[in-house]
Amino acid sequence: MNRRLLRQALPFISLAVVLIATFIVQPRTMSYFGLNLMLQYAVPIALATIAQMFIITVNDLDLSIGPFVGLVSCIGATLLLDNPALGIGALAVLIAAYGAVGALVHLRNLPSIVVTLGLSFVWLGIAVLILPSPGGKAPVWLKAIMSVQIPVVPFPIVAAVVIGVVVHLALMMSSYGVIARGAGGNPKALTRAGWSMLRTKIIMYMLAGFFGVLSGLSLLGLTTAGDAHVADRYTLYSIAGVILGGGEFIGGRVSPMGAVVGALTLALAGSFLIFLKISPDWQIGAQGAILIIVLALRALVTYGEQKR
């Protein structure tokens, strides 16, 4: 079998395996209601994973996406509800701030890990200032969007497909997408060809901010109330999702469809382990084991690819 194809198919195969295993352990999940319930929380994770993917495309890493999503949920549950114009303004400022971070990282040649790790505390701090203890209320329209019932196919699946396809078209098919990925692949060549690295980084960081905002709002629509700590785990989820979906940390090698599938796999793996009644002490370990198995399989495929 074509190894390149196999490599691209691996995320989808992993998802299918986890899905089938879940169906066997808990047949009740094999229904419209079951899938809807089980995959709902995968939608914000998928959006956060896409945000992380934009950053990874330009060889950086965002360790602040989790607290950022939490901050968005707090703004959504307070400012956006009481004063929509101010709320939208605040979210726009956040996206601009992401762009500024991209510029800072590029201009001062700082390691993105350090900058975003620091920022994660800034986002959390602002979130706690806005909403000192969990509360607030999700705007009605947000709740309505997230609880929409589509006939036949559950909403989370439709949402995942739409997110994957839209980003795929934009990043993998468009000409600007090639430049963006080139910024990760060979920044020097890109600069010599007359493209601005600064501009590319700012745009990619702002896209990450934009998807982070979408993630926070969709999460708020599900939880119906804000909480600064609501998405602390998303940082790791999003990185794992990108890698699980066939992305690489360097070289601009990413796959939007894969990232969405990776996020779904992670969310499902969590449910699967709960259905198996594995003790919580082992759950994180088991989730890590799933990650390692998939990555080991990929390494095996890539190894064969290089040998040829």
The least CB distance from residue 205 to another protein, in Å, is 24
User: Which residues, 163 to 222, sit near another protein by CB under 8 A?
Assistant: 219, 222
Task: Identify which of residues 182 and 270 has a Cβ nearer to another protein in the complex.
Answer: 270
Residues 102-141, one symbol each (x = binds another protein by CB under 8 A, - = not), give: --------------------------x---xxxxx-----
DSSP 149-210: --SSS-HHHHHHHHHHHHHHIIIIISHHHHHHHHHHH-HHHHHHTT--HHHHHHHHHHHHHH
Residues 37-56, one symbol each (x = binds another protein by CB under 8 A, - = not), give: xx-xx--xx-----------
Q: Return the sign of the alpha-carbon dihedral for residues 269, 271, 276, 279.
A: positive
3-class DSSP assignment, residue 135: strand
By the rule CB under 8 A, 265 interacts with another protein: no
By the rule CB under 8 A, 289 interacts with another protein: no
Tell me the number of residues near another protein by CB under 8 A. Answer: 41
Cα angle, residue 167 at apex, residues 35 and 41 outer, rounded to 5°: 30
Task: Identify which of residues 14 and 73 has a Cβ nearer to another protein in the complex.
Answer: 73
245, 177 contact by CB (below 8 A): no
For 37, counting Cβ atoms within 10 Å of its Cβ (0-12 exposed, 13-18 middle, 19+ buried), the class is middle
Task: Identify which of residues 30 and 293 has a Cβ nearer to another protein in the complex.
Answer: 30
243, 295 contact by CB (below 8 A): yes
How far is Cα of residue 17 from the mean position of the Cα atoms in its chain? 21
How far is Cα of residue 78 from the mean position of the Cα atoms in its chain? 24
Exactly one of 16, 28, 118, 169 binds another protein (CB under 8 A); which one?
Answer: 28
The least CB distance from residue 65 to another protein, in Å, is 13
Residues 224-243, one symbol each (x = binds another protein by CB under 8 A, - = not), give: xxxxxxxxxxx---------
| Spatial distance between the Cα atoms of 302 and 294, rounded to a whole number of angstroms | 12
Exactly one of 108, 192, 281, 307 binds another protein (CB under 8 A); which one?
Answer: 281
**Residue numbers of the site for another protein (CB under 8 A)?**
26, 28-29, 34, 37-38, 40-41, 44-45, 128, 132-136, 143, 219, 222-234, 267, 270-271, 274-275, 277, 280-281, 283-284
